Every structure is written in C-alpha cells, then in structure tokens.
C-alpha cells in the first residue's frame, strides 16, 4: 500500500528517504486540510446566521421564571408559582393554586374519587410535553374505569439532597 494514494510507490519511498521532500508534502497536505476545515467552519457559521435571521427563536423559549422561583430560605429549592400560566419549551404550562402542574383540584375530594400523587422531578413534571402526555395523566386515564380518578403531579424541576 502506498504512503499517499496519489503518489506512486517509488515516490512514496523517495519521500520517506528525503526529509526535505517529505516536509513539503506534509506542508501541502496540512495546508489543504486547514483550508478545508476553515471552509467548513465558515460555511456552518453562515448557515447558522441565515437560520437565525430567517427563523429567530423565541427568547422566552427556555425561560421558566413565569412559573418557577427560588425559595428565599436555604437550601433555595425551586418551587412552582401557584396560579401561573405560560408557554415553556413550546408547550403550555399551567400551575394550579396548590403549586402543582395541571388543573385545579377540589379540596376536599369528591366522593368515590381515588387520588394518586406522582412525586418526582422534571420527568414527572413533563418538561417539553403537554400535561395530558405526562406519565401521571396517562396513569390516570389507564386507571379511570368507572371511578373518577385524579392525580396530583407533585413534581419539581429538581430534587437534591440538602447540602449538595
């Protein structure tokens, strides 16, 4: 097999035996490789700029401040703001009066109602998906056979140990 596919076997041997010629070929290859990499980077930057100009992203897409806040007391966990409504990651998010995602919950519970509370983190909260598609709502639909089922999604953005 040749050292370089574009050189003959004799030229490959000569390059290996002559340090000056080998340096020239190496410089030639590195120069063209560098030019190719710079061209690819410039092309990708121009494409990125064009996409951002033609279809700018909503600046509030990742902003969770309309429905979340830091607790003022240590360890400064994040809590949902009761009765808040916004769009987050492209889907509507509604926080009820209890600070949980979803519809309002009647207290005390109606007769013949079983309540299931899903406790969890951002997976339980259902970031990026409508509330109907969260696993807690799917569980509610699966269990809803003759009884009026409710679920409370007691989820937060993040759970961690105190002091971590």
Residues 74-121 have pLDDT tens digits of: 887 888 899 999 988 889 999 999 998 988 888 888 888 878 888 888
Decide if 75 contacts 156 (C-beta within 8 A). no
Decide if 39 contacts 33 (C-beta within 8 A). no
Q: Alpha-carbon distance 100 to 156, whole Å?
A: 8
Domain of 24, in residue numbers: 9-54
Tell me which range, 1-10, 125-134, 146-155, is most confidently predicted by mean pLDDT.
Answer: 125-134
Decide if 91 contacts 62 (C-beta within 8 A). no
pLDDT greater than 50 at residue 133: yes
Decide if 128 contacts 89 (C-beta within 8 A). yes
* Statement to judge: residues 76 and 144 lie in one domain: yes
60 found inside a domain: no
pLDDT greater than 80 at residue 146: no
78 found inside a domain: yes
Domain count, the chain: 2
82 found inside a domain: yes
Whether pTM exceeds 0.75: no
* Statement to judge: residues 125 and 83 lie in one domain: yes
Burial class (CB in 10 A: 0-12, 13-18, 19+), 67: buried
């Amino acid at each position: 097999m040749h050292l370089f596919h574009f050189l003959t076997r004799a030229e490959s041997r000569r390059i290996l035996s002559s340090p000056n010629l080998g340096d020239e070929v190496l410089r030639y290859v590195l120069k063209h490789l560098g030019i190719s990499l710079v061209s690819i980077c410039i092309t990708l930057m121009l494409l990125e700029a064009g996409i951002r100009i033609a279809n700018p992203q909503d600046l509030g897409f990742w902003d969770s401040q309309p429905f979340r806040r830091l607790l003022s007391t240590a360890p400064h966990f994040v809590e949902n703001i009761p009765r808040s409504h916004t769009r987050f990651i492209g889907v509507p998010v509604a926080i009820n009066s209890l600070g949980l995602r979803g519809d309002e919950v009647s207290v005390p519970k109606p007769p013949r109602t079983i309540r299931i509370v899903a406790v969890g983190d951002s997976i339980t909260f259902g970031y990026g998906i409508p509330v109907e598609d969260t696993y807690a709502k799917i569980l509610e639909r699966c269990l809803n056979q003759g009884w009026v089922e409710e679920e409370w999604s007691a989820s937060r953005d993040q759970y961690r140990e105190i002091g971590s």
